[in-house]
Amino acid sequence: MGGALPQLLGFCFLAFLRLAGFVAVDAVGAPPPAGGSEGTAVVDGTTPIAVTDDDFICATLDWWPPEKCDYGTCSWGLASLLNLWVGGRYHLAAAMLSLVKGSDVCHDLSNKVLLNAVKEFSPLKLRLGGSLQDKVIYGVDTQQPCTPFVKNTSEMFGFTQGCLPMQRWDELNDFFKKAGAVIIFGLNALNGRVRLRDGSLGGPWNSSNAESFIRYTVNKGYTIHGWELGNELSGSGVGAKIGADQYAEDAISLKKIIDNIYQDFTDKPLVLAPGGFFDASWFSEFIEKTKPDSLDVITHHIYNLGAGVDEHLVDRILDPSYLDREVSTFRNLQGILQSAGTSTTAWVGEAGGAYNSGHHLVTDSFVFSFWFLDQLGMSSTYNTKSYCRQSLVGGNYGLLNRTTFQPNPDYYSALLWHRLMGSKVLSAKFTGTESIRAYAHCARESQGITLLLINLSGNTTSQAFVTTASNYTIGLKHHIPRTRFNHITRLRKTATFMREEYHLTAKDGNLHSQVMLLNGNILSLDSEGNIPTFEPMELDASLPITVTPFSIVFVHIPHFDAPACR
């Protein structure tokens, strides 16, 4: 009887797995294969643990002029909201600068590559803002000169006040309409402030210029998804800071302006703030004083890897314990929102990983997809509704090359996420090694789930089995050995259930490569500037997923038993 009982349990378990829509499963208590490891992705598809926006992926466009330099490198060129070329017209100062320096050609917002890159997301959220947004005035008053930013080291952020001409705003909106982009505009929150004894800025926000700009935008028929107040002025601030009490009053004022101007609109734009770094006490007070419904979205920024010049960026990107440090930000912010009983939701409003424009061949290369996709997975787990990557183009962390608009690896990572990961977030964990990061969502516009596996190890290939949380618990309870599970897998090989896999690796195994491979094939634009199609590999769903060293795998499993996804 002692030998028959495990066998009986094994066959009973097999029957249960078939009924549950089992995919492939790991066992407990057996050594890993030579030269590799085995592990289990345990996915609980019973109910969602969080829900994101359908257009979760977001990217930023910034204000930095070509003279913006960090550590002796000027990485912005003509990537600003003010100097991306539009339809044959561009600012003379920017054009002359490009001719003198010989470093950049003028960018064209009607460029097919740029247009296609944005349109592929259908839609892509674009957050317009950055450090200089609190020094931007809007040229709605034709009696005042509308001059560009001028470099001045004595000024905050090294530049004078700049102006957005309305002709330029018209050109940008023409591009946004063609690209089908969803726009969030960051407003100048420093107008009217006075400096207080503690160094912060006080006094109410002077909203007159912003209000005129919003009215102009509405009168022109431009669609804005949200208006965000200020950039990095919360907590200790960056360059300047405003107390939470005053900031809350200003956000309420913006809400009133929006409600008034858009009073005849069925759908009003969102009110977002503060676009700063998470500070628990500041954010708590701000949320408390804007509840229940004066603030739609609270936005925070993430640059958790250190300065762009730091020599240890790659070490941190590949360190699971370092990546896990950011969990506290997402968890604590959600705790504050839940405790406050507010309708406000959370976004990551700007995230470039490494501050001061990133680091060439790190934040614009293959290795950065480990950080970026882990951030998308982690943030969505904690009910973050949207995640805005710094930047679409510009600096050393652009999704697109700033001179050619050719996609960098993270563009393809973002687009794969957008196409495969639905809005319902599922609980997922990986057992067997800490080097594998696992995230799961209901599949986007398809049946089943999509599983994301990120292998931070450069030495180990993992054979990943996938199972439901309930099946895994039963397997543990009955101590079914791995050999028994392998026998079950062999019996399942005649099944017709298939899955789709998308394996991302670096060209020639070089983590600093700016060329990404999908299932061994180079991802690149065709001669017409079109984004390549993503062709998956189809495999028997009963087989383990092979996750090679330093690789990323999206796996669509249509027959996974997930009631949350029905």
Residues carrying an active site annotation:
232, 350
With 0-12 / 13-18 / 19 or more C-beta atoms within 10 angstroms meaning exposed / middle / buried, residue 487 is middle
Q: How far is CA 520 from CA 25, 307, 537, in A?
A: 26, 33, 11
What is the CB neighbour count within 10 angstroms for residue 331?
13
Q: Helix axis angle, 208-219 relative to 244-261, nearest 10°?
A: 30
Taking CA atoms, 381 is separated from 51, 79, 428, 429, 473, in Å, by 8, 32, 9, 12, 22
Whole-angstrom Cα distance, residue 212 to residue 137?
11
Which tokens is 137 given?
């005035």
The helix or strand, by DSSP H or E, that contains position 288, with its residue range, turns out to be: helix 280-290
Distance, in Å, from the CA atom of 77 to the CA atom of 66, rounded to the nearest integer, reads: 4
What span, in angstroms and rounded, lies between the C-alpha atoms of 337 and 341? Answer: 6
Burial of residue 341 (CB within 10 Å: 0-12, 13-18, 19+) is exposed
411: enclosing H helix or E strand: helix 409-420
C-alpha atoms less than 13 angstroms from C-alpha of 461 in its C-beta half-sphere: 10
The total of other beta-carbon atoms located within 10 Å of residue 308's CB is 25
Residue partners of 526: CB distance under 8 A and separation at least 6? 532
Nearest 10 degrees: Cα torsion 200, 165, 224, 51: -50
Neighbours of 522 (CB within 10 A): 10
Distance (Å, rounded) from C-alpha 559 to C-alpha 361?
39
* Cβ–Cβ < 8 Å for 505, 553: no
Longest C-alpha distance within the chain, in Å? 96
Cα distance between residue 213 and residue 437, in whole Å: 45
- What is the distance, to the nearest Å, from the Cα of residue 80 to the centroid of all Cα atoms in its chain? 20
Q: Which residues contact 192 (CB under 8 A, 6 or more apart)?
A: 203, 204, 205, 206
First-to-last alpha carbon distance for the chain, in angstroms, is 42
Residue 167 neighbours by CB under 8 Å, 6+ apart = none
* Measured distance CA(18)–CA(333) in Å, rounded: 41
